[in-house]
Every structure is written in C-alpha cells, then in structure tokens.
C-alpha cells in the first residue's frame, strides 16, 4: 500500500494516526545530510496529507530538524510568518509550544539578518511561563538571559515588555544571571549614567556576551533622550541634553536627529532658544500601566467626539428650525 493511500485511509484511532505520522516522519528525517531538500519536500507533502492536527505538528517539528541539520532552512523559514495561525490549528499544550519556539529560534540564531524575528520568537517562548510555574521556569533561565542580550545588542530596538515577564523576573535574584537582569533594567528604565556606572564593575561580563561598549553607549544615549522626553516638560534645553547624554555642545542636534530618524520622538529644534520641543515620544516599556494610559486617552477622545457630534446635531436642529420660521415669514 502506498504512503498516500495509507495516510488517507481512516485510521482505527487517533493514536494510530499519530503513530503513522511519527514513524513516517522519523524514517524520512534519518540521514538529513543526504538530499536534505528532497527529504524536507517529502515531509511537507506528508504534512499536507495529514488530517490530524497534532500529527501535522509532529511532522513539522521533523521538518525543522531536517532543515536545520541539512542546512536548507531557506525552505522552511517562510512558514515562520504563519506560526501563530498554525499554533491555533494545532492546539498545542505549553510544553509543545516551548519545543516549537526553541526549534524555530535555533534556526533563526544562525541567520544574522533574522535577529529581530528571533527576539520575537523568544519573547513568545518566555511568555509561556507564568509565576505559578515556579518549578518549570528554571529551564527558561538561559533563554531569558540570551533574549536580554539580544535586546541590548539590537541597534534598532528600543521598546520591550521583558521586565513584566516572570521568566525574566526570576533572574533578578539568580546567582548567575542577576547582573544581566540589572543590565536590562538599566536599558529600559534608566539613563546613560547608570549604564556607565554598571560598566565600571561589569566590563568583563559584557565582553563575554559579545556586547560592544561603544554600541551600548550609543543606544543608551537614545534611550536617555527618550526618557527625558517622557519625564521633562515638553521643552528640553540643550544644556540638559548635553549633560544627560554626556556629549559636546555641537553634538546635541545630531543626537536629536538620530532619535527622530529612529522614530523615537517627534520634535522641533529651536536653535535660537537652544531648546527641543517634543510633541511625541515612544515609551521604552509598554506594559499594563501604558495600556491603562492608552485606554484612558481613548475613552477621553471618545467622549470628546461624542460631544462634538451632539453639538453638531443640536446646531443642525436649531438651523433647520430657523429656516422653517424664515419660510413661514416669507409666505
């Protein structure tokens, strides 16, 4: 009996269907270095033949394994964009979700151009751990630390919700990773002076994780500028920017322009009065308090719009009444 007919034939039970999917995918995944692209194609065809959702997940995991070991990941990475949809279809438990996210992350780690995508996948992995899962969170420590380092390294990433995650919070009192947690806290809640103080006693640690001091300073200057925009009045004097960013007078405008280019702030530069007037800034952290603030703003805007509509309708009624009276007078 051919593979297609064996798969399409209704199995005696769900367990039998899963066993067939598992056995076939394991057989195909053997010796992944031998014609890996062909093996991956067969696995994906097998995936499409299956009707059992969990069986599809098992085959997909084998496809990830073949793609990684056979170095043909370019054939599987396009599917990562649909991973949220696939997760709903497969209806996986937490353990299987974690296995999936880590398998995808291991592939993305090998692709330097996919650092941001890998960060998103690891964030989803870390989000599967809750405070109630105290015993199970130990397995997340290494990935939690790695995710922090990736955020700090990224020159185009200035906002994250990592501090809100239990998997990250556990590092605060961890003997091995407490310093990494402290570094994250500096990058999302503090300013350049706090980073420089941290660096004086942790330079070797940062170097061991591949962090470049000059790059960290550059990112912290932009983060500090955003912090000024959120905590100071709408107008920030050049002198405050100079002192906070620890730069020269003639560098102030250059750093403001960099912040604008990175879409961290909208502002006007007043060279005459030596001030920067900020009209919008990006929150470094977007957690529960930020969502609450956004909800309050939306509620206020909704109320304002309702008042405008009521006023317009009232004026319309008044205008129509006036026109009617004028018509009666003309007659």
Predicted local distance difference test score (pLDDT) of residue 319: 65
User: What is the C-alpha separation between 84 and 198, in angstroms, rounded?
Assistant: 38
pLDDT tens digit at each of 331 positions of the chain: 444 444 445 455 567 778 888 888 888 888 878 899 999 999 999 899 888 899 999 999 999 999 999 999 999 999 999 999 999 999 999 999 999 999 999 999 988 788 999 999 999 999 999 877 766 788 999 999 999 999 999 999 999 999 989 999 999 999 999 999 999 999 999 999 999 999 999 999 999 999 999 999 999 999 999 999 987 678 999 999 999 999 999 999 999 999 999 999 999 999 999 999 999 999 987 655 554 554 665 677 677 787 778 777 777 766 666 555 555 554 4
Report the alpha-carbon distance of residue 70 to residue 39 in Å, rounded. 9
- Count other Cβ atoms within 10 Å, centred on residue 306: 10
Residue in the block written with tokens 């098992």: 58
Angle in degrees, 0-180, between the axes of helices 192-208 and 238-245, rounded to the nearest 10: 30
**pLDDT at residue number 294:** 47
| Helical H segments across the chain, by residue range | 3-8, 14-29, 36-49, 53-69, 83-90, 94-108, 115-126, 141-153, 166-169, 178-189, 192-208, 213-231, 238-245, 252-261, 288-330
Closest CA to 39 of 24, 49, 58, 18: 24
Q: Please return the burial class of 40, using the count of CB atoms within 10 Å of its CB with bins 0-12, 13-18 and 19+.
A: buried
Dihedral angle, C-alpha 99, 119, 130, 177, nearest 10 ° = 100
Nearest to 278 by CA among 230, 327, 331: 230
* CATH classification number, 219-293, choose in 3.50.50.60, 1.10.10.10, 2.40.160.10, 3.30.1490.100: 1.10.10.10
Q: What is the pLDDT of residues 137-188, one digit of tens each?
A: 889 999 999 999 999 999 999 999 999 899 999 999 999 999 999 999 999 9
């Amino acid at each position: 009996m051919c593979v297609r007919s064996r798969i399409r034939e209704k199995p005696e039970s769900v367990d039998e269907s899963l066993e067939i999917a598992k056995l076939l995918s394991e057989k195909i995944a053997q010796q992944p270095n031998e014609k890996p692209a062909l093996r991956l194609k067969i696995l994906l065809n097998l995936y499409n033949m299956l009707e059992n959702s969990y069986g599809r997940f098992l085959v997909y995991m084998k496809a990830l394994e073949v793609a990684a070991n056979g170095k043909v990941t370019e054939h599987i990475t396009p599917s990562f964009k649909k991973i949220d949809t696939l997760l709903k279809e497969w209806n996986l438990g937490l353990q299987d979700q974690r296995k999936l996210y880590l398998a995808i992350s291991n592939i993305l780690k090998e692709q330097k151009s996919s650092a941001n995508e890998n960060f998103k996948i690891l964030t989803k992995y870390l989000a599967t751990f809750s405070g109630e899962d105290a015993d199970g969170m130990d397995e997340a420590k290494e990935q939690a630390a790695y995710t922090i380092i990736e955020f700090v390294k990224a020159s185009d990433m200035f906002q994250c919700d990592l501090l809100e995650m239990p998997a990250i919070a556990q590092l605060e009192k961890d003997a091995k990773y407490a310093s990494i947690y402290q570094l994250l806290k500096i990058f999302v809640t503090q300013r350049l002076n706090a980073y420089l103080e941290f660096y004086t006693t942790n330079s070797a640690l940062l170097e061991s994780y591949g962090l470049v001091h000059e790059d960290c300073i550059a990112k912290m200057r932009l983060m500090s500028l955003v912090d000024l925009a959120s905590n100071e009045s709408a107008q920030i004097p050049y002198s405050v920017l100079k002192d906070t960013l620890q730069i020269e007078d003639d560098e102030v405008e250059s750093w403001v322009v960099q912040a604008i280019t990175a879409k961290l702030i909208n502002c006007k530069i007043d060279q005459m009065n030596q001030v920067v007037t900020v009209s919008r800034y990006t929150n470094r952290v977007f957690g529960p308090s930020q969502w609450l603030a956004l909800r309050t703003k939306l509620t206020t805007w909704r109320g304002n719009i309702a008042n405008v509509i009521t006023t317009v309708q009232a004026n319309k009624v008044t205008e129509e009444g006036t026109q009617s009276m004028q018509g009666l007078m003309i007659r």
